[in-house]
Structure 1
Amino acid sequence: MSGPALIILFLASMVYLFISIVKFKMNPFFSMISAAIAIGVLAGMDLDMLVTGITSGFGNICAGLGIVVAMGFLLGGMLSAAGATDSLADAALKKFGEKHASLAMNLTGYIVSIPVFYGSAYVILNPVLRTLSQKTRKPIHVYITALSVGLLTTHCLVIPTPGPLSVAGTLGVNFGWFILYSLIVSIPGALIGGWLYGEFLGKKVYHYDEPTFTETEISAQERHSDEKRAPASLAMAIIALPLLLIVFGTLIPMWTDVPMIVSVCKFFTAGNGVIALIVSVAFAAVTLRPYVKEDYAPLFTKNFNEMGEIMLLLGAGGSFGAIIQASGIGDYFVSLLQSWNVPLIFLAFLLCLLMRSALGSAAVAMVTTSSIVAPLCSQMGESGIVMGLAICAASMAFATPTDAAFWLVQKLDNLSFKDTWITHTFGNAIACVVMFAIVLLLNACRGFLPGL
């Protein structure tokens, strides 16, 4: 099949994914697997090679991320069950005061979403929004925007969440450096798209309305104030532990060549940081035990069950990306870029934007795009970290009705379709633009920046 025909085939697959998922409500797993099969057949791939590509693409993602995602789910489940996320929100409000309550909510979301998945974290922290709105007499839209953008920023950029984890693994970059630069990129995005944009909405777009819900609903957080909850300091230590193990495991070998120390560092950073996460889960299990009322066995089972769908979606994204590459579409992109002189960083960014809008899942869009971009990155001598951050930043935008998070925000907070776009979608789009601008700056300076 000719190059232009391959591009048409790729675009047609995007349209198919959008229609099948949005209009016909097909499960994204089946949509992506069927799209991968259709691309392979229409591109004239050998059928044995097609099957091998689908299974190997799926297997590679699961092999690299299975244990890591499982540990991430367990960590988040224990923190939630121990009331640690509530403690973090209370501590942030106490630290920043009611005047800067939206900043506290934004930073709380930013921190909590590192170990806890976006959907779970938003549900857990949502009752705090109404309480803050009433106490500060600001529109609830201010806090919805602050929390939503804060949560999604780390969900899309900071390891150990599955999306950025898969991007870093697929591109073969150093996890420690990726974490450091993802923090540099994501913090301004979260603050501008979540906190500052939310405050703008509260001053220029919305006004405060007296609540019509009951005192019980308003005080969901206060209702549990007498319960024994894990302190915020312990929650912060648990969240920081895997990140510190990975970062220091990356940096320490640069300062010493003592064999034993280097071996220990490699032990904690190998396998996508799986040992660092296992150690963190063990630490959490011991330190949070006094605060978790239920037994760990059913809690772990519940989190493993929730993990299943995530792994299927990530695996299907890996299959789709593998077939995109094996069909020749990736190679044609290389020749097209060379003839047009289009920088790879823009291709990676736009490709992820397109897939994010079509697939609805930021994680799936990231893993699929990185599968396509990885061989191009090595061929063109680009920085894997910069390309990975561009892909992760792009996954923030287009939080449209194809994304379950869009409906989660609308339903939980009783927003209109328009208001959901203004708060959730536009806020995350602003964060995306800010972060991509920083990524471009890093790319321009990568000649003298370490790790790039």
Structure 2
Amino acid sequence: MPLVVLVSSMLAVILLIARLRVHAVLALFLGALFVALFSPGVPLADAASATATEFGVVCGRIGIVIALASVIGFALQHSGGAARISQAFLSLTGERRAHMSLWASGYVLSVPVFFDTVFFLMAPIIRAMYRRTGHNYPLYLCATLAGGAATHVFVPPTPGPLAMGATLGVDLGLLIIMGSVVALGGSMAGVAYGHWINRRWDGGNPLATVDATVDAEPAADLSRAPSTGYAFLPVVLPVVLIASRTILTTLELQFPGAELVAFLGDPNTALLLSAVLALDMARRTRGMTMSDLGTFSEGALATAGTIILITAAGGAYGAMLTRAGAGASLADVADAMHLPLLLLAYLMAALLKVAQGSSTVAMITTASVLQGIYASGMSGLPHPVYATLAISGGSLVVSWMNDSGFWVISRMARLSERDTFRLWTPVAAITGTVGFLIVVVLSWLVPLRP
């Protein structure tokens, strides 16, 4: 019975999102309510309130962090900080290795900024670079996409990894460290594909009919952009603080300032400090008053609101599946089929991604299902950080026409649908799959205790 509830509820969620175009928040909440109705531990009269309670629990865990991360990304985008970071990487590599500067920009910027937004920022820079060099356009695109997509799915505080970490009980600092390693390896494989397709490209010049003046816009912003060090600070500070707390906790260090380090390294505190810095950067570069700053923040918080609602609805869905016993039943099936948990996580996320298009929804839903397996107390499970990252790899595997990112890349890169399939779809598949393989190897070499 629990597996029937699991499969039927997942099919219902996919149908609502992919076919009926119901918003993911409503689809996931309806899925959670459906499962609650068939959970033996939830009385019929309490099904709706129990679902709402779990919704609130997830909001409490990740709501503030997602909101603050959105503010940081919004401020970086509109202050010129993101453009300054890209320019800094380009200065380091030079035009001969410009693809590596584009990769590094995508890799770093997609940690605090949503991937779609990063590509909006980077696409004019890619086009301008191609106009200067006259070659390597496929390589420039693949390098940027590989770097940005990898950190988007593997490294918090982007919403998907952040929500999965909260769902599966993974320390955020550990997830940042391990996710960065996996994203590095996976994205390098994506860059390697870029080199391969670049030598075989027969797609012509996609910018031949585009007015070159369109691509000059980002350079103009640098005159008012913050300094390089200031631009990097909102990105680096929370990573350092959160990682410090993780090291402190893992090694059980005791010293006079340990409590202060733990306080500053709490994700809510670290991202709050970073958001204050990012908003101050935007205020200085745009000449805003404090009143203007409040209005400015509304755009970021509006974007975050939708993500928080999706994440919380997905968390409620997972909690109801756990109450229904779906996780334990799925664990028994996987054990009977001798299917490793990491492979199960990867395949489930990949199937959900193909079915409904959103990596974030695929990650949250899969993590919610696996939460039940970990809650069952089954022995021999890998550390949940590896399950989290395996899901991340699967959520990137297939990007096609039901993925909004597919169309953003197609239009901003001036690519036909056919060429988008040749460039972006393989990069996503290779980055996600190689990332998953790295996760498997790490789980063997560094078998952390759950």
1:354 corresponds to which letter in structure 2?
L
Does 2:434 correspond to 1:434?
yes
Unaligned residue ranges in structure 1 (runs of 5+): none
Q: 1:305-347, CA deviations, whole angstroms, 9 ceiling, x for partnerless residues?
A: 1212111211221122223222332221122123233221112
1:117 corresponds to which letter in structure 2?
F
Aligned counterpart, 2:72:
75
CA distance in 2, matches of 1:389, 1:39: 26
- How is 1:37-76 mapped onto 2 (pairs within 5 angstroms)? 37-41=33-37, 46-76=43-73
Q: 1:289 and 1:372, CA in 2 relative to 1: closer, same or farther beyond 3 A?
A: same
Aligned counterpart, 2:341:
344
Aligned counterpart, 2:295:
298
Question: Which of 81, 85, 92 is the equivalent residue of 1:84?
Answer: 81
Structure 1 residue 102 displacement after superposition: 1.6
Q: How many residues align?
A: 442
Question: Which segment is superposed worse, 382-391 or 321-330?
Answer: 321-330
| Preserved contact between residue 79 and residue 281 of structure 2 (Cα < 8 Å) | no
| Preserved contact between residue 139 and residue 208 of structure 1 (Cα < 8 Å) | no
| Alignment RMSD (CA, Å) | 2.3
Question: Which segment is superposed worse, 435-444 or 364-373?
Answer: 364-373
CA distance in 1, matches of 2:250, 2:134: 51
Does 2:184 correspond to 1:190?
no
Does 2:221 correspond to 1:228?
no
Question: Which segment is superposed worse, 99-108 or 290-299?
Answer: 290-299
Does 2:257 correspond to 1:274?
no
Q: 1:410 and 1:265, CA in 2 relative to 1: closer, same or farther beyond 3 A?
A: same
Structure 1 residue 442 displacement after superposition: 1.0
CA distance in 1, matches of 2:246, 2:278: 23
Structure 1 residue 446 displacement after superposition: 2.6
CA distance in 2, matches of 1:218, 1:439: 39
CA distance in 2, matches of 1:373, 1:241: 32
Does 2:185 correspond to 1:206?
no
| Preserved contact between residue 36 and residue 54 of structure 1 (Cα < 8 Å) | yes
Structure 1 residue 432 displacement after superposition: 0.8
Aligned counterpart, 2:26:
30
1:433 corresponds to which letter in structure 2?
T
Q: 1:65-89, CA deviations, whole angstroms, 9 ceiling, x for partnerless residues?
A: 1110111011111111210111111
CA distance in 2, matches of 1:424, 1:13: 31
Structure 1 residue 262 displacement after superposition: 2.3
1:266 corresponds to which letter in structure 2?
A
2:327 corresponds to which letter in structure 1?
G
| Preserved contact between residue 15 and residue 358 of structure 1 (Cα < 8 Å) | no
Aligned counterpart, 2:420:
420
Aligned counterpart, 1:120:
117
CA distance in 1, matches of 2:89, 2:115: 19
Structure 1 residue 148 displacement after superposition: 2.1
SS at match of 1:205: coil
CA distance in 2, matches of 1:259, 1:325: 40
Aligned counterpart, 2:279:
285
Identity of aligned residues (%): 26
TM value normalised by structure 1: 0.90
Aligned counterpart, 2:378:
380
Q: 1:284 and 1:183, CA in 2 relative to 1: closer, same or farther beyond 3 A?
A: same
Structure 1 residue 254 displacement after superposition: 5.5
1:440 corresponds to which letter in structure 2?
V
| Preserved contact between residue 138 and residue 201 of structure 2 (Cα < 8 Å) | no
Question: Which segment is superposed worse, 417-426 or 63-72?
Answer: 417-426
Question: Which of 90, 106, 110 is the equivalent residue of 2:103?
Answer: 106
Aligned counterpart, 1:262:
258
| Preserved contact between residue 366 and residue 395 of structure 1 (Cα < 8 Å) | yes
Question: Which of 167, 177, 184 is the equivalent residue of 2:164?
Answer: 167
- How is 1:116-155 mapped onto 2 (pairs within 5 angstroms)? 116-138=113-135, 140-155=137-152
Question: Which of 364, 367, 383 is the equivalent residue of 1:367?
Answer: 364
Aligned counterpart, 1:238:
234
Structure 1 residue 43 displacement after superposition: 6.9
Structure 1 residue 222 displacement after superposition: 3.2
2:348 corresponds to which letter in structure 1?
L
Does 2:150 correspond to 1:156?
no
Unaligned residue ranges in structure 2 (runs of 5+): none
Aligned counterpart, 1:398:
398
Q: 1:42-68, CA deviations, whole angstroms, 9 ceiling, x for partnerless residues?
A: 677642353244213321221111110
Question: Which segment is superposed worse, 414-423 or 128-137?
Answer: 414-423
CA distance in 2, matches of 1:406, 1:420: 7
CA distance in 2, matches of 1:303, 1:281: 11
Q: 1:411 and 1:12, CA in 2 relative to 1: closer, same or farther beyond 3 A?
A: farther
Structure 1 residue 159 displacement after superposition: 1.6
CA distance in 1, matches of 2:203, 2:182: 32
Question: Which segment is superposed worse, 239-248 or 156-165?
Answer: 156-165
1:150 corresponds to which letter in structure 2?
G
TM value normalised by structure 2: 0.91
